Amino acid sequence: MNRLEILGLEGIGEVVPGCRVGKMIHEACLRLGLRMIESDVLVIAQKIVSKSEGRLVRLDSVIPSPQAEKLSVQLVKDARLLEVILGESRRIIRTGRGAIIVETHHGFVCANAGVDLSNVGGGQVALLPADPDGSAGRIREEIRGFEGVAPGVIISDSFGRPWRLGTTDVALGMAGLKPFRDYRGQLDPYGYELRGSVTALGDEVASAASLVMGKTDRIPVVLVRGLAMERGGGSARELLRPEDEDLFRDF
């Protein structure tokens, strides 16, 4: 019988710039009586990583550019917020109906460049980590120092999807595990050779963890146990579709 456990780590506490996320996770595990094992996977909400790294901007410190002012009228959004979004963007993909879809400097195609006002407070917005894979690696090594084992780490965030309503969580950064499960070349139960079956396992795990995290439950870290994922050097950047394979963007 296959069994997967998804355990929310309660009591992480408020994260501010300079906090050591790995240490906070270790201390939460101690309080909960949990001992990590090498095959565990930790899914960590992007917001606490961004906060710990000081990826915060006060809107009252932002001076909007003419482009941001123009978009503000078009989209009925705060021009200061739009200026921050533009600063985090490589280019604008689409605008309309109050939304701005961009490609970030990381290569993510998402709304608002991932800039978020929720769960921040103080007139601030949170930016995505500058290097989510690097952040995942640093947290993993920090946990290794405390726990003596190095679980896989996924940094997650909520993304919308162009053809379906609602958001689902995806992997922004990863360390210690491969992002895909590749079934190509294997036979299905009827003897058919699979040719295009590559599962985005990093995204699936991030999404599963979000069921426990919630949006208002103050559970920003989830421990996933019992998951068969290929270990080794992996990167969430591998999950990004190359531009020359993207049929849904204008070039």
Contact at 8 Å (CB) between 84 and 115? yes
Residue type, 53: E
Q: For residue 226, tell me if it sits in a domain.
A: yes
pLDDT for 101: 94
Together in a domain, 233 and 136: yes
Alpha helices by DSSP H, listed for the chain, are 21-32, 46-52, 66-75, 79-87, 132-147, 201-213
Contact at 8 Å (CB) between 209 and 224? yes
Residue type, 157: D
pLDDT at 65 over 90: yes
Domain that holds residue 20: 5-54+129-241
Residue range 187-235, pLDDT digits in tens: 777 877 778 788 889 999 999 999 999 776 789 999 999 987 777 788 8
Tokens of 160: 């919308």
pTM value is: 0.93
Together in a domain, 231 and 112: no
Together in a domain, 163 and 208: yes
- Residue 7: how many other CB atoms lie within 10 Å: 17
Q: At 147, is the pLDDT very low, low, confident or very high (cuts 50, 70, 90)?
A: very high
Nearest to 104 by CA among 77, 65, 69, 131: 131
pLDDT for 248: 77
Q: For residue 213, tell me if it sits in a domain.
A: yes
Q: At 250, is the pLDDT very low, low, confident or very high (cuts 50, 70, 90)?
A: low
State residue 80 phi and psi, 5-degree precision. -65, -40
Report the mean per-residue pLDDT for the chain.
Answer: 91
Q: What is the mean pLDDT of residues 136-142?
A: 96
Contact at 8 Å (CB) between 154 and 42? yes
Together in a domain, 47 and 101: no
Q: For residue 248, tell me if it sits in a domain.
A: no
Among residues 124, 141, 158, the one where a domain terminates is 124
pLDDT for 191: 76
Q: What is the mean pLDDT of residues 152-165?
A: 93
Specify the number of domains making up the chain: 2
Q: Who's near 246: CB < 8 A, 6+ residues apart?
A: none
Q: What is the mean pLDDT of residues 143-157?
A: 95
Q: For residue 133, tell me if it sits in a domain.
A: yes
CATH number of the domain encompassing residue 69: 3.90.1660.10
Among residues 124, 149, 171, the one where a domain terminates is 124
pLDDT for 199: 85
CATH number of the domain encompassing residue 185: 3.30.1330.100
